[in-house]
Structure 1
Amino acid sequence: MVTFNLAYTSRINPPGITPILNYPQIWAGLQRKIRFAQEFVPVIESCDVISDKDGVVERQVKFKEGQGPKDSAREVVRSYEPAWVDFEQDDGTHIRNIVSDGPSGTPSDLHMTYMFEFRLPHIQEGEAAEKELARLKGMSKKAVESSIQVIREMVKDGRIKV
């Protein structure tokens, strides 16, 4: 089994982008992402909520064939407003979506980081592991940037009203 620990950060509001997203909009988007992951992460095919009680969501996600780290995952999701959302999978894989201020502390300097601890029992050390790590790094970047883009589109079209 191989464990990969990696993270990717992207600026939420780079120069020239509109609308400028704020914490409440981003948080509303992340809450929607918990329940409708396929709208935000291109490698996720479906997301079925099993339970949603007291701020803890249990869900089953299915990845598009050959694109995810595995075929599917059962996750327990906890939110820590306004800073992060934690996704813990049955196999010990752990993902955290973090929203943070940059040095200026202004909305134009907000960042989103996705932190991943992938536990992959079907991968062994060596060349296959290196290829998988490169693939997962690309997937991580795409997941962050896609999530930001989708939240911005939802604010534009009124699906997020904060």
Structure 2
Amino acid sequence: MPAIHLSYTSKINKPGDSPVLTVSQIWAGLQRKVRFAQEFVPVIESCTVLEEREDGTVVRDVKFKEGAGPKPKARETVREYYPSWVDFEQEDGTHIRNVVSDGPSGELEDLHMTYMFEFDLPHAKGSEEQEKETKRLKGMAKMAVEKSIDTIREMVKDGRIKP
């Protein structure tokens, strides 16, 4: 079964960004993303929480917009590891991790967000098809990181995430 591994990293607080996001605001945004993924990732049409366990684990179904996601829908088991990452594991073995990390300075202006993906794509057989799918998914990864950061910043501005 073909597997595609990729990641994308972006600086969270770029020069001129306002407000400058704190770790607690970023974490609050990632927690909201667990339950309302469609607010953060444009290729997701809907997100339905099926179960919230005592240990904080969430089981959810996400539905992707037609032709935009790696597949039409996915059931995910989501675990949070404050303050560093959120782990999304799908039933088919696909694995996604949203990571918040410090840069060399350790300052807020040097925070980074990385999304790491391990897609198991049985339909992407052969090097040409797999290469095409990898390129498409790289674009999706970049968009997902950038849109998530932008959405968290907007939620801080409009009060959905507290300063």
Distance in 1, Cα, partners of 2:126 & 2:114 = 27
1:45-97 deviation digits (Å, cap 9, x = unpaired) = 00000001121000000000000000000000000000000000000000000
SS state at 1:34 partner: helix
Q: Which residue of 1 aligns with 2:19?
A: 19
1:95-115 deviation digits (Å, cap 9, x = unpaired) = 000000001100011000000
1:16-72 deviation digits (Å, cap 9, x = unpaired) = 110000000000000000000000001000000000112100000000000000000
Identical-residue share of aligned pairs (%):
70
The number of equivalent residue pairs is 162
Distance in 1, Cα, partners of 2:59 & 2:134 = 27
* 2:28 is aligned with 1:9: no
SS state at 1:18 partner: coil
Deviation at 1:126, TM superposition (A): 1.9
* 2:132 is aligned with 1:114: no
Matched to 2:73, the amino acid is S
* Paired residues for 1:83-162 under 5 Å: 83-162=84-163
SS state at 1:70 partner: coil
SS state at 2:60 partner: strand
* 2:41 is aligned with 1:41: yes
Distance in 1, Cα, partners of 2:63 & 2:116 = 20
Matched to 2:96, the amino acid is I
- Unaligned runs of 5+ residues in structure 2 are none
- Unaligned runs of 5+ residues in structure 1 are none
RMSD: 0.6
TM-score by length of 1: 0.99
Q: Which residue of 1 aligns with 2:29?
A: 29
SS state at 1:76 partner: strand
SS state at 2:41 partner: coil
Deviation at 1:125, TM superposition (A): 2.0
* Paired residues for 1:41-60 under 5 Å: 41-53=41-53, 54-60=55-61
